[in-house]
Structure 1
Amino acid sequence: MQVNQNLSNFSDVSVQTAFVIYALALFFAAFYYGKIHTVIDGRRARDAAKADEKSKVLVGAGTETVASSASGADQEVISLEELAAREAKANKIGGMTQSLIWLGVVLHVVAIVLRGLATGRFPFGNLYEYVLMVSAGVIVISSIALQRKEWRTLWPWILTPTLALMFYGSTKLYAESAPVVPALQSYWLPIHVTVVSLGASIGIISGIASLLSMLRRWQSKGTEHGIFGKLAKPLPSANKLDQLAYRLAVITLPTLGLGIVLGAIWAESAWGRFWGWDPKETVSFATWILYAAYLHARATPSMRKIAPWINIAAMAVMVFNLFFINMVVSGLHSYAGLN
């Protein structure tokens, strides 16, 4: 089928526009992050002042109770009205961030659809198109999973790597719209790649949540210090982040497993064997094993402390599979459009 170059060009413009909107959303997300920081400082200053007043009353009453408010002694105590105004302004900025993200998602999805229409096939034929799918999946799934206000502080941590992925995909991995190679001309292509890209998207978010839970556990609430403490202060608690990572990993494991099984069925149809320890197959299976190990460690009290590290390792291996195996290692899955 002849490629419709106009639709292909419109797809490229949609990707670029989505990138700009995501970048603008990142700016607002970072601004929101800072506003929440000041709200937290205001709350803690007020709590410390109340504790100080209570201790004075108790001491004045002749009790032996001693209370310390040193943590809030150097913070400005603001009125409830000012604190409410700060929080309302922060929530407004957070809402604007989410609106921009949804606008970017619409353009992102339009770019994928136009790419498919331009070539008359599902847009999964090369690594550039796969990166478009995975990055869109990360943003859509994050928008669904992070709807509560307390999760909005995760957006800078999600948008930054997503933008980096989109930038690299649109510059170094970009491939002109063209028909796929004969080996990919199969109805298994959209089925297998859709499931795998969905699993990868969920796994990336889960890995980021585990990484942030480790940061939050190191910089626990009320004891933050240094630069990393300032970065961690607006984040939810370590337990909430760990729970988010776990819930997402519970979905990632069977999704990636299904993708591997579907790939094996396609391999039998295309190459006459279900499994051949091709580099892509091997690393994909290793990734699945790591997610299984994470869930096992998460459910085992004696291994629970190392569980987040296993989840982070699983994400790292998946990213390694996405780039190094596709771009450097030669194998039966070398369809990145770069070989």
Structure 2
Amino acid sequence: LGGTQYSTLETEIYTQTVEFLDLPTASSLAVVQLTVTGLCLFLSGRAQRRLQRSLGSASPGPLRFRGRRDGLPVVVTALVVVVLLLAPVVTLVERSFQRDGVWSMANYRALMSPGDGSGMVISVWQTLINSLTTAVWATLLAVGLGAVVALLLSRRPTGRWGRAGLSIGDAAFMLPLGVSAVTVGFGFLITLDRPPLDLRTSPVLVPIAQAMVAIPLVTRVLLPPLRGIDPRQQEAAAALGAPPWRVLGTIDLPVLARGLGLAIGFAFSTSLGEFGATSFLSRPDRMTLPVAIGRLISRPGAENYGMAMAASVLLAGMTVVVMGIAERLRPPEVTSC
């Protein structure tokens, strides 16, 4: 949206790498972004801990709508939803069914072939299949690793160094959430390019990168229920002679399973629409749908533009379906905080 006039660190890293092949400059910008993000995560973690201590264990009462107090926030929220969220999507859907001012399915029929002048070697439908396959593997990785991370971060060490280590680990695992996905992809590109971990031509590289982007979201979905477990339950089970693995299986894992549906939805939708890291790592014959949309938009021609709009509608529709299923699988007591 911004072009060269409103370039950000993320777009500049991408431009320096893809267009100018200036890896030293891109690396310097990535280090700056990592430093700033790490500092922000550290400060936000301290603020969150202070807030938790100040609130204590008080439980807020049920929230009720009050017309005079809540009327203006409701109106502002409705305007934001309609103008900034619904209107662009509705406009995109409408124009995807138009070609040269005439209503037709031409843009969707064109998705069956690479298109003239698109620079693609596979059809957009094939990129959708690639995106779904990649998202499945990335979701398995993200949910599996995210569950382990959530279990680790839910522990309550009593020692000072243990608490400090847990805070550092929390910030480290959340780093991909604040760092640009472009930086994640760039890091993979310059790290996994030589033996024994030369994955540049491997199909597993993109799912791994997408999983790294999704792990913080999975962790944030699974962590609140785990932190809500009463430690006296674990202590009572241990006092009755249950070994650690039994305590984990009978107390922690059932609570963890309550949020798996929502975690899977977040991981799958994040992987399905991921562009930043994938744009560095995907190969022309294994291009994903978001990368194909970016390629079509960057090429001149009404056909490419129409195909990009139709492909965007497909991507939005798939995301809505995935998140709709995930919301139905979420128990009422699990939140997405």
TM-score range, shorter chain: under 0.3
* TM value normalised by structure 2: 0.26
State TM-score, norm by structure 1: 0.26
Find the structure with the greater CA-based Rg. Answer: 1
